Amino acid sequence: VVMLPGPPREMQAMFSQEVRPLLAELGGGVLVSHNLRLFGIGESLVEKDLPPRLLDAANPTVALYAHDTEVRLRVSGRAPTRDDAEALIVPIVNQLAEQYREYVYGVDVPSLEAALVETLKAQSLTIATAESCTGGLLAARITAIPGSSEVFGYGIVSYANSAKLELLGVRQSTLAQFGAVSEETATEMAEGAKNLSGADIGVALTGIAGPDGGTPEKPVGLVWLAIASRHGARTKELRLSRGYQEERNLIRELAATNALAEALQEAKALT
Amino acid sequence: VVMLPGPPREMQAMFSQEVRPLLAELGGGVLVSHNLRLFGIGESLVEKDLPPRLLDAANPTVALYAHDTEVRLRVSGRAPTRDDAEALIVPIVNQLAEQYREYVYGVDVPSLEAALVETLKAQSLTIATAESCTGGLLAARITAIPGSSEVFGYGIVSYANSAKLELLGVRQSTLAQFGAVSEETATEMAEGAKNLSGADIGVALTGIAGPDGGTPEKPVGLVWLAIASRHGARTKELRLSRGYQEERNLIRELAATNALAEALQEAKALT
């Protein structure tokens, strides 16, 4: 029995420095895993389409994990050597990547933001953000990734309408006619972020995170997402309320997650 | 035995709607708690100075919790009625608030950011942010608080030097002479955020979150924090590395937490 402390920061270092070598010494072969990361599909839909023989197998194993809008499929195999284990699991990884290709944003990447930064780097692209309801969360998630300074230089948190007008160049007439939470404002925010920074991709979010500020036409959870690039601008309407009592931060997180996913798609399309 | 689901979002609603009324029906008196929130003092120093009779008592009880740089002291009392319970614990709360007055930023406030937003609101003050190493995290923590739009309108994430120059008005000569991570640049960023937005308080962070970018003179974990208001500008040098392997996000969180604490002090001083 190996006992480890609870705080992940302490546990992880002890595990890699002490426990892993100990386990290797004890033998028993090698356990290798690959993780497919999916966005935009629910856990139950993934599970429904998984071949039952994969879920029931003892080696290799397929495990399904869900967290908010993200799903992870972990494929693990045990064998005497790493190469043998890889030979067991790679065909299954490839099969699942093909089956869920619309939703898989990466294999063995830790997060959407890491996949985005990696993709931007590989293509020498840059991104800039303009945020209203998420208030800096999107920028914070991008800059959480080491080396993100290569791809991210400018982020604007335009909570006030005056910030949208003065910094991002949103037109007064757009705000007056359509409101701050609208497809039109989101589009001008994304274009503004792109133009202000000279980045290849501008991504914008404006919405109603609640708990106040909702109306029948624009309820809490309505978020407009816009992406601008040399391909022009496109938008997406999100309805993120799940009816929980304290869901402001859930709405903000989900809005940022959707923006990361759309920005990643845009980066891939800009090759 | 009451069994509840693990996810806090589900558990909390069930607890308040179902379990609390059930417990009240069962009798046994009322348990009332107040929480003192401390910043800037370590758990062990708080514990050393706590009167032992408080820690050993069965009713009321004093419990000490620590999370990164924050410490919470929970004082709880059980009595037949709420008023009786309050009478038991209020003297202890007041005694502890006096004993740790340098460090207590609030009683029964959920967080530093909530205390900041509440204080700014109460004084009709506004705040703007300029962030380099924290990349939007400070703005995201402020805007996580419902109603923060009353006190926060503008946030600039100036990861690129050009963003510091163009958006915040940092002088080229300052960057050239002192570098992006310097007291001088932090000061001009804070002043820039204040001037750009017309806010009462500008708060800026620039530092080296790592893992790369450190030098012997400016190691990973060095962060300059600056606050500008009508009282002028002041700065604080932070050394936030604790020597962990993956501490980029810890450094960013601690930098943002320090900025919230200093901004709260500034808001209190602007009465």
Q: Which of A33-42, A243-252, B61-70 has the highest mean pLDDT?
A: A33-42
Distance from the first to the final alpha carbon of chain A: 51
Residues of B in contact with A149 (CB under 8 A): 159-160
Task: Give the whole-angstrom CA distance, residue A76 versus residue A55.
Answer: 11
B157 contacts A143? CB cut-off 8 A: yes
On whether the CB atoms of residues A223 and A206 are closer than 8 A, the answer is: yes
Instruction: With CA atoms as reference, report the closest residue to A271 among A84, A125, A69.
Output: A125
Write the DSSP assignment of A66-135 as a string of letters: EETTEEEEEEEEEESSHHHHHHHHHHHHHHHHHHTTTTEEEES-S-HHHHHHHHHHHTT--EEEEESTTT
* Residues of A whose CB is below 8 A from B12: 246
Element (H, E) at A65: strand A61-67
Min Cα distance B185 → chain A (Å) is 17
Amino acid type, B116: L
- With CB atoms and an 8 Å threshold, state whether B129 touches A157: yes
Structural tokens at position A113: 């933001």
Mutate to test the interface with A, among B16, B156, B168 (most CBs of A within 10 A): B156
DSSP state of B41: S
Nearest to A259 by CA among A185, A207, A195, A196: A207
pLDDT higher than threshold 90 for residue A7: no
Q: Is B136 on the interface with A (CB under 8 A)?
A: yes
Strands annotated E in A139-188: 152-158
Nearest CB to B146 within list A134, A163, A212? A212
Q: How far is A94 from chain B (nearest CA, A)?
A: 31
ipTM of the complex: 0.89
pLDDT tens string for chain B (271 positions)?
A: 999 988 777 888 899 899 988 887 887 788 899 999 999 998 889 999 898 888 888 899 999 999 877 999 999 999 988 999 999 999 999 999 999 999 999 999 999 999 999 999 999 999 999 999 999 999 999 999 999 999 999 999 999 999 999 999 999 999 999 999 999 999 999 999 999 999 999 999 999 999 999 999 999 999 999 999 999 999 999 999 987 777 899 999 999 999 999 999 999 999 8
Nearest CB to B155; choose among A157, A212, A248? A157
Each residue's pLDDT tens digit, B174-196: 999 999 999 999 999 999 999 99
> What was the pLDDT predicted at A57?
85
B149 → closest Cβ in A159, A196, A211? A159
- Assess A135–B contact: CB distance below 8 Å, yes or no: yes
User: How far A33 CA sits from the closest chain B CA (Å)?
Assistant: 22
- Six-digit token string for B215: 């030098």
**Tokens linked to A32:** 């290798």
Q: Tell me the C-alpha distance between B224 and B184, whole Å.
A: 9
Contact A13 B137 (CB under 8 A): no
Residue of B70, B75, B71 lying closest to B47 (CA atoms)? B71
Residues of A in contact with B211 (CB under 8 A): 146
**Cross-chain Cβ contact A158/B154 below 8 Å:** yes
Q: 3-class SS at B179?
A: coil
* pLDDT at residue B147, as a whole number: 94
Tokens of B97: 């608030």
Q: What are phi and psi of B222, to 5 degrees?
A: -75, 125
Rg over CA atoms, chain A: 22
Q: How far is B34 from chain A (nearest CA, A)?
A: 22
Q: Which residue in the set B140, B152, B245 is minimally distant from A137, CB to CB?
A: B140
Strand residue runs (E) in chain B:
30-39, 61-67, 70-79, 104-107, 127-131, 152-158, 201-207, 222-229, 232-239
DSSP letter string over A194-260?
HHHHT-SEEEEEEE--SSS---SSS-TTEEEEEEEETTEEEEEEEE-----SS-HHHHHHHHHHHHH
Which of A148, A157, A161 is the best substitution to test chain B (most B C-beta atoms within 10 A)?
A157
- Measure the CA–CA gap between A203 and B143, rounded to whole angstroms: 19
CB distance B255 to B207 below 8 Å: yes
Distance (Å, whole) CA B74 – CA B242? 27
Please tell me if residue B207 touches chain A, with a CB cutoff of 8 Å. no
> Which residues, 6 or more positions from B34, have their beta carbon under 8 angstroms from its beta carbon?
B74, B75, B89, B90, B93, B107, B108
Which tokens in the block code for residue B65? Answer: 């919790």
- Extract the tokens encoding B166: 């163009």
Of residues B145, B141, B119, B144, the one with CA closest to residue B129: B141
